[in-house]
Structure 1
Amino acid sequence: MPSPQQARAQASAITSGKSVPRTQAAPASQLRALFDGPQLSPGQRRIAQYLIENLAEAAFLSVTELADRVGVSQPSVTRFAGAVGFSGYPALRERLQSLALAGLAGGPGPVEEDRGNELQAAVDAEIENLENLRRDLADPERVISVGRALSRSAPLTVLGLRISVSLAEYFAYAARRIHPDVRLVTHGGSVAYDALLQSREAGGTWVLAFSMPRHAQETLTAVRVARGAGLKVALVTDLALGPVADEADVTFATGTGSRLVFDSYAAPGIVCAALLQAMTDADPERTQARLEEYEQVADQHQFFLKD
């Protein structure tokens, strides 16, 4: 029987294409397509979000006025223009004005309808990430192989720093139900170095690391320390290429939702669940024994509410 997380992923895939059409030519849709490609910082995403939601007015603002409206500095607006492919803010404003005038010529209906579905568009983007991941998992052998290796590593270290902490904590929490020694590392620097070196000295062979944008320098350093200590690294990230991925032994790259100010992690969450399933399947007897023991303790101490 599929887990609740797997069922939700299947439901998302089934409903693909029923939300805001990806091919619509409304001005706000064109802006989303323009802003969706680059890796933008949270502050830059605030600018993008403001432009999408206030195109008719924002297209005619000066750089100073736009900075004041969004609550960022003027250099931030200039850097944003460069990040999305323009030579400067004047070039970006010219593009915004052409889209705004096209929207006015076409009437207010499509623009208003598109603006009202910004959250649906974010969900649409995550559905596309899930569909891409589904295609990637057509051959599950790599997940199975890494899950088996993680299951055998004792201790198993799970590393996630800064924004990646939430995924690492989720994985570690679940993995402790089926693995006897899971060590979670959520602080960088010397704290991470100590934990990684101790894990290797205790017999550990693998680290599962998470690196979500914006990618932290301390994650790269910790992965290098792990490799230098003799640990192998499996990496869950959004980019198949890059400094952190280059250091990993195995990389699972899948898209993150980047349409809102802060990323969402539907597809990386499924990768976590898939690796956990592979660990479960790698040693079914140990899994069953540990889950039964945990349920007895949970019942004894009333960890959970009765549904």
Structure 2
Amino acid sequence: MESEPAVTGVPSPEFGLLARVQAALPSLSPSMAKIARLLLGNPELPLTLSITELADRAGTSPPTVTRFCRQLGYGGYVPLRVGVAADLGRSDAQTEFVHELGRTFDPDESSTALLKTLRLSHINSIQAAADLIALDDFETAAGAIAASPRVDIYGVAGSATVAHSLHDRLYRIGVHTHSWSEVHHGLMSASLLQLGSTAIAISNSGRTSEVVEMLAAARDTGATTVAMTSDPHSPLAELADTHLRTSPPDQFFSAGGIAAQTVQMFACNVLYMLVAKATYTRTQEALALSAAVIDNHNNPRRRQQS
């Protein structure tokens, strides 16, 4: 059996193992994907198995395990083991989710069980999103938005709700923003963007053809392009100047699929707060003005006096 050095110290990576594996899985080689799927179902295995034993369990080789660790951002198998220990020592909710991970919708479950599954899925999704957020990329996108004379936001189907919500937030703090969920209108708007404008495209998969087409049209005008997806290797991410990563579990008709929109909203809220931070004075003035006019509208007596 291959000996492993003692696990000492805590490495510096910011992202948890499960979040890293979920994000990397679409781009992994078949042999590395075997390791990923094994760890998604049994994340505690590195604590009890040597690198050779883990390779045997996954049906691959120790060098492949080492490459897998480095692909996820760990220096090797030992740092990955320490990362697993840190992950399993998080909150009770996170530990509980290890046993629920991958559960899909079951019509025979009780309402209490469904609520538990949904709650745990959302908890894990938000944790994964927070772990995987690259603040440098979010700050870059926020800076572009803050300096833009005009911002387009594209999203269709479920992502349309997220796009409209981000539009409402940014518009209220003085950002000249439009959101588009209909491809013809979106393409027309994208074609009229100018250098210095910013276009944001939202798609969980990064493969929604209408959203890809709208962002491509915006890029052709010279606008700064931002993609918000869970897959950094998707067509949408590859089109963008800046990619903002989210990491919801990707399961059809599952709690993870429902939680995808929650993760997108979380990422949009982070982006909104960074834009507000970058334009603090303008934000304060815009919020005060909009609050005053809405308050006046909601108070008929005050409106008559004025």
TM norm structure 2: 0.60
SS of the counterpart of 1:212? coil
Q: Distance in 1 between matches of 2:263 and 2:256?
A: 18
Measure how far apart 1:162 and its partner are: 2.2
Q: Distance in 2 between matches of 1:23 and 1:150?
A: 38
**1:122 and 2:118 matched:** yes
Unaligned regions of 5+ residues in structure 2, if any?
Answer: 1-89, 300-306
Q: Could you say which residue in structure 1 is the equivalent of 2:92?
A: 17
**1:286 and 2:278 matched:** no
Measure how far apart 1:135 and its partner are: 2.2
1:157 aligns with one of 152, 155, 162: 152
What does 1:34-183 correspond to in 2, within 5 Å? Answer: 49=105, 52-54=106-108, 116-137=112-133, 140-183=135-178
Please tell me the residue identity of whatever aligns with 1:289. E
Q: Could you say which residue in structure 1 is the equivalent of 2:210?
A: 218
**1:233 and 2:233 matched:** no
Q: Distance in 2 between matches of 1:53 and 1:214?
A: 30
SS of the counterpart of 1:209? strand
Q: How many residues align?
A: 207
Please tell me the residue identity of whatever aligns with 1:245. A
Distance 1:120 1:19, change over 3 A: farther
Q: Distance in 1 between matches of 2:153 and 2:146?
A: 12
Q: Contact between 1:156 and 1:204, CA under 8 Å: does it hold in 2?
A: no
1:206 aligns with one of 198, 213, 217: 198
Please tell me the residue identity of whatever aligns with 1:161. V
Unaligned regions of 5+ residues in structure 1, if any?
Answer: 1-14, 37-47, 55-111
The CA RMSD measured in Å over matched residues stands at 2.9
Measure how far apart 1:169 and its partner are: 0.5
Please tell me the residue identity of whatever aligns with 1:185. W
Q: Contact between 2:206 and 2:236, CA under 8 Å: does it hold in 1?
A: no
Q: Contact between 1:20 and 1:124, CA under 8 Å: does it hold in 2?
A: no
Measure how far apart 1:238 and its partner are: 2.0
Q: Contact between 1:19 and 1:121, CA under 8 Å: does it hold in 2?
A: no
SS of the counterpart of 2:222? coil
TM norm structure 1: 0.60
Q: Could you say which residue in structure 1 is the equivalent of 2:186?
A: 192
Please tell me the residue identity of whatever aligns with 2:93. K
